Amino acid sequence: MKIASFNINGIKARLPRLKEWLEESRPAIACLQEIKTMDEGFPASEFEAIGYKAIWHGQKSFNGVAILADGVQPKEIQRGLGIDGPKEGEGEQARYLEAEVSGIRVCNLYLPNGNPHPGPKFDYKLAWMEKLRERMRAVWIEEVPTVVLGDYNVIPENKDVWAPKAMAQDALMQPESRNAHARLLADGWTDAIDTLNPRGGVWTYWDYQAGAWQRDHGFRIDHLLLSPELADRLVAAGVDKDHRGREKASDHSPVWIEIDR
């Protein structure tokens, strides 16, 4: 059974590519980030037509997350983490959606980028990570097979970026960001890609600018963290790298795990 995460950077602009990927790789569960549409604009019928049922949490212009499942309706558990955005009075951003699908708890997230650093957006990122940790701890004690996946916007270690020096000032790899991420792992969660690729050098994102894709200047910021109940069933993990090189591609590639049963 394949479970995937894909930051698609706009569901309207990406729809042909997204459907192509779903039909080619046929994940049982597909979590999307940055759908960049309000709830009304979500193309649910397009996914129904190829056998996927969905739940989604949209927002105007930015952010937005969705969970698709092959032939079954995801059962929503929670949306949002109860934390307001960094601008005065904007309310909560659409960055978190949790569901149960086929006996698996699926927590789909789009973590704040946090640039520029330092500043209110960086503070928001760190506060969001604390909220996420609280939620992960609450799910952990339920002892259900759980995957917490999505665009974490954190480069965990120097082996996860093409040139640490080039990114040194970026919010994605500040010590505070890394420490907050390390605390999640220290709670016991298993980073699926890292466990199977301990030497690093695996990228999930390549910038649109400066020929980053052609030069393979990427980094790893999309992660799948597994609870012990699911880590025991992990058989493979990978990145659908070739999708980054296609026409009208997202700047992220899909990442996935294969689990037993």
The correct pick among 13, 138, 235, 236 for binding DNA (CB under 7 A) is 13
Q: Is 155 helix (H, G, I), strand (E, B) or coil?
A: coil
Taking CB under 7 A as the binding criterion, the range among 18-26, 100-108, 115-123, 175-183 that sits at the site for DNA is 115-123
Decide if residue 43 touches DNA (CB under 7 A).
no
> Which residues inside 182-201 make contact with DNA, applying CB under 7 A?
none
What's the token pair of residue 131?
A: 């909220």
CB neighbours (10 Å) of residue 203?
23
Decide if residue 253 touches DNA (CB under 7 A).
no
Decide if residue 172 touches DNA (CB under 7 A).
yes
Please name the residue ranges forming H helices in the chain: 11-25, 44-48, 120-140, 175-186, 192-196, 228-231
User: Is the CB of 33 or the CB of 227 nearer to DNA?
Assistant: 33
Which residue(s) pair with 98 in the sheet?
Answer: 78, 107
Measured from the CB of residue 1, what is the shortest distance to DNA in angstroms? 27
Q: How many helices (H) and strands (E) does the chain have?
A: 6, 14
Taking CB under 7 A as the binding criterion, the range among 35-43, 72-80, 174-182, 192-200 that sits at the site for DNA is 35-43
Decide if residue 62 touches DNA (CB under 7 A).
yes
The correct pick among 5, 108, 146, 153 for binding DNA (CB under 7 A) is 153
The torsion region of residue 113 among left (phi > 0), alpha (psi -120 to 50) and beta comes to alpha
> Which residues inside 74-113 make contact with DNA, applying CB under 7 A?
87, 112-113
What's the token pair of residue 115?
A: 């640039």
In terms of DSSP bridges, do strands 29-33 and 2-7 run parallel, antiparallel, or are they unpaired? parallel
The one-letter amino acid code at 229 reads: E
Q: Report the interface residues with DNA, using CB under 7 A.
A: 7, 9-14, 34, 36-38, 41, 60-62, 87, 112-113, 115-116, 121, 151, 153, 170, 172, 205, 207-210, 219, 221, 248, 251
